[in-house]
Amino acid sequence: MTEIIKNNVVVTMAYTLTVDGEVVEEATAEDPMYYLHGHENIVPGLEAALVGKTVGTKLSVTLSPEQAYGEYNDENVQEAALEDFNLDPSVQAGDEIEVEDETGQLYIATVLDISDETIVLDFNEPYAGKTVTFDVEVLNVRPATVAEQEIGEPEEYFAEFDEDEEDQE
């Protein structure tokens, strides 16, 4: 029986993400993306478009900001004292950096401006406020394990994370 995409299945897919007519992200069949359906691993509009699809399905879906990365929020842009950050001297406007808050939570921010005394950071998703298009091919669909359902991520995600950790050692 062919698995269909529904909650608690792991989906393997290749995709191209286009924003403003420019390809900004890709996952190929050789280096695919894995996600656990129904666990908010991907943007809501794409997840909804994939429900009921099977291996071999190809689709193109254009999503509004509300269905994708959300609206751009000016309140997510913050200025801070540069001395509060231990930045590599090569960091410049346009770079993404990891920021840790007082509770230890990590966030990704885009550097908008940097001076001798201050840094301006944008905590919006990079494609917030944008209409985006995903061209997708479903490569595999399999039932999620109990552990994957409990964690909310496919095991392939953790295998990639573990490899990245080993590369840094």
CATH of domain 9-70+127-168: 3.10.50.40
**Tens digits of per-residue pLDDT, 96-120?**
999 998 899 999 999 999 999 999 9
Q: What is the distance between the alpha carbons of residues 22 and 10, in angstroms, rounded to a whole number? A: 28
**Tens digits of per-residue pLDDT, 15-67?**
999 999 999 999 999 999 999 999 999 999 999 999 999 999 999 999 999 99
The residues spanned by each domain of the chain are 9-70+127-168, 74-122
Instruction: Please tell us whether the domain made up of 74-122 is placed in CATH 2.40.10.
Output: yes
pTM above 0.75, yes or no: yes
- Over the range 138-150, which residues count as b (16 or more CB within 10 Å of their CB) and which as e? bbebeebeeebbe
**Tens digits of per-residue pLDDT, 124-165?**
999 999 999 999 999 999 999 999 999 999 998 766 555 555
Q: Which two tokens stand for residue 56?
A: 């071999």
In single-letter form, the type of residue at position 121 comes to L
Q: What is the distance between the alpha carbons of residues 68 and 133, in angstroms, rounded to a whole number? A: 9
- Give pLDDT, residue 158: 66
